Each structure stands twice: as C-alpha cells, then as structure tokens.
Structure 1
Amino acid sequence: MLTAAVSFALTAAGVAVAGLRAYRRRHLSATRWFAVALLPAGLYLTGLFPVARTIGSELADWATALVLDPRVWTGIALLAVSTVLLVTTRWLGRRAVDAAEPRPAATGRAPARPAVAAAPAQPPAGAGAGGAPKAGKAAKPAKAGKRDDGLGGEFADIEEILRRRGI
C-alpha cells in the first residue's frame, strides 16, 4: 500500500512539473517531464517493484557470499583463467595466420633514388674559375624551396598547385 502511494505521488509531482513547463511554452521539456512522471505509476501497475526488490536482495546476498565464500572465489578464478586462455588462443591464432599467408609481391619496383644529388652544371654564384669561392665574398646558400632530391621535375606541377592554395 505504501508503494502505491509513493508511486502515484511521484507521478502527480512529475505531471505538475510538466504542466508548469508547458505553461512556460517549453513543450519539448514538458513532454520529457511527463514521460518520466509516468514511470513510477507504470512500474507499480505492472508489478515490477517487487521484482526490483527481489533482484536487489539477490544481488546483496551474492555480494555477501562473494566476500565470505571460497567457492565463489574459485568460480571467479576459473572465469579469469578461461578468459586468459580464450584471449591467448585468439592472439596466437592470428599470429599463425599472419605467418602462414605469403605477403603479396609489389606490382613494380620503385625507381632507385640516387644516394647523392648530382652536382650542379654551373658553379654556385660567387665562385671563381676553379669552382672555389672568391676570397672576400661568401657563397650564397641555395634556395630552400629549390632542392635537388632526385625526383627531377616530376612533382613540380603538384608543388605549384599546393603553393597556390597555400598548403
């Protein structure tokens, strides 16, 4: 009897809050409040409160037995060993499949890049006739954007597009 009174009191309070929300033109919030307000009455009328009480007492009994009963600890240990064995066999099975499958061969070889960049055709600016820098003048460093990485002009158009877009 007390459960019924509390359930319907909670439902009435929720419906009142939903009414206030609707009065303030917050219809979405009012609908949510009304939906939540119907839960206690619905749980009581379906008889789920005694079920919840039974589930709660069974969980409390299990937790008490967990602390005091060595049989429960043995069951937990068996569950842990089972989990470790399942995970280990899954991991080892994947490793065996990876090792047994041949790796697909590449469709073509990438062109070999030279280990050292080719020497420039002309001596750097400020160099004398023998290729050595003139005394008194320091050699100008090469531009940072113009480097010879062995790719030639293959990516020049792509670099230009990226440069225009500011990337």
Structure 2
Amino acid sequence: MLAETICSAVSAAGLGIAAVTAWRKRFLAATRIAAYSLVPVALVLTGIVDWVAGIAFKPSVWLGFGLLAVAWVLFMTTRAVERRGGGTRKERRAAARAARGDAVAPAASAPSLGAGVPQAQARPKGKSREQSAVPGEDFSDIEAILKKHGI
C-alpha cells in the first residue's frame, strides 16, 4: 500500500513538472518528462511493485541471495586456483605427460649451420668436435657483416 502511494505521488509530481515545462513552450522536454512520470503508475497497475515489495521484505528471498553469493565466491575461488597452476589431479598428470613427451621436431633444436652451407663443409675434416667448440672460433663472416654496415 505504501509503495503504491509513493509511486502515485511521484507520478503526480512529474506530471506537474511536465505542465510547467509545457507552459514555458518547451513541448519536447515536457512530453519526455510526462512519459517518465507515467512509468511509476504503470508499474503499480501491472503488479510489478507488489512483486518487488514481496521480494524485498521476505527473509527467505534474502537467504537465497546470500546462498547465490556464496556459490559465486566458491566458483571464482576455484577458477583462481586453477589459473595459478593448481588445477585438478587429472590436469596435472596430463601436463606432466606432455612435458615428458618427445619434441615435435627433434631436429629443430640442433644449432643452425648457416644458410646454404652444406653439412659436410661446415665441420673441418681434421678437427674433432671438442676443438671446433673452442671459444676462439672463426667469426670472419660476422666481422664482414659488421664492416659492411660500418660498425
């Protein structure tokens, strides 16, 4: 009953403001204000106000909203734990299996020998593998590129 009275008073005040606005020759604004002021009365007549008032003043409804909030917090907590790497046991096992597996392209991890250089020419015949890995390797091609660019 109180909600209907408040909605009626708001509509009456809005229609009064719309009348004053129309008297000032601002008809477009007055029409807009009249439209907004009719909404509360329309909500009362459709029964929406009774429905909202019934929801707002029932403790069981608020208990339901509280349970929804708790469920949402639990859901978001589990999502945050999964994103940090906790995941489920099944997901951790699958990740461990994937990490243990062979590489997709095992030869891709081999060092590049340069463009257009055949593998037979890349390693000098007289040197062993240990000698070619010495820190004083031949960097003449890099030096040539740097000189070309004036560095």
- Judge same fold: TM > 0.5, yes or no: no
TM-score, normalization by structure 2: 0.44
RCO greater where, 1 or 2, for CA within 8 Å and sep 6 or more?
Answer: 2
Q: Which has the higher helix share?
A: 2
